[in-house]
Amino acid sequence: MANTSSSPHRTALLASAVALLGALTACGGTDGTTTAPRPTTPTTHDRTTSPPGTEVSPGEQSTPTRPAASPSPAGAAAPSSRCRTAELRAEVGRMDPGAGQRNFPIVLTNASARTCTVYGYPGAAFVDASGRQLGPDPERAPGKPSRVTLAPGDSAWAGLSYASPEISGARTARPAGLLVTPPDEREPIEVDWTAGAVPVSGNASTVRLTVFAPGSGP
């Protein structure tokens, strides 16, 4: 006669064994070690160093950028550039005598097709026919410079003055020309000098220059 009571017992044992095997597979390897969660690979965003408070999109490099230039004040116009030597024509105006002085206007005229400016004093030097300077450099008379804007064809003038040699008794020389250098330029313009002898040394031999003003003379 078959033993029917042992079948349910075997079935229960088999079910328990299957359940235990499933638990071991889920929780660890067959060697008894526990499998830790695998770390995720860092993305480009994770590897990028960004300043605190900034946010970088994934895949975007954190490249420093230059700050934007400050805008010009509303209504401010860019200043006109200075007149260059090649854009100007120079001449010496008619002498204006007075109180033992000889006074001449040095005139610069804008011969270019653009508007430009002059500011301050000219450079000046008397030279002989070979280009050698006669006498020391002129001195600057006290004055308050102002920027003079020259449209094409406009002129500005600066005064050149010295004591009359016949009165001062200074040693003189007769120049062939006058070198006129526009403000902030290096190249001079040579102008023929036809006004006779000028003081070059001795008493009261100083030659003075004034700042530029609009026009062609006083």
Q: Where does 23-71 show beta strands of DSSP type E?
A: none
Residues 25-42: tens digit of each pLDDT: 444 444 443 344 444 444
Banded model confidence at residue 126, pLDDT cuts 50, 70, 90: very high
Residue, of 170 and 16, whose pLDDT is higher: 170
- Segment 56-60 shows an average pLDDT of 41
In this prediction, residue 99 carries a pLDDT of: 83
Cα–Cα distance for residue pair 8/218, rounded to 1 Å: 133
pTM for this prediction = 0.63
Banded model confidence at residue 203, pLDDT cuts 50, 70, 90: confident
> Tell me, which fold does domain 85-214 have in CATH?
Immunoglobulin-like (2.60.40)
Tokens of 173: 């020389």
In this prediction, residue 173 carries a pLDDT of: 96
Residue, of 124 and 54, whose pLDDT is higher: 124
Residue, of 119 and 60, whose pLDDT is higher: 119
Cα–Cα distance for residue pair 75/73, rounded to 1 Å: 6
Banded model confidence at residue 172, pLDDT cuts 50, 70, 90: very high
Residues 63-98: tens digit of each pLDDT: 333 334 334 344 444 455 999 999 999 999 999 888
Nearest to 117 by CA among 140, 88, 76, 158: 88
82 contacts 116 by C-beta, under 8 angstroms: yes
Q: Is the pLDDT of residue 122 over 90?
A: yes
- Residue 3 CB contacts under 8 Å (≥ 6 apart), including other chains: none
In this prediction, residue 119 carries a pLDDT of: 97
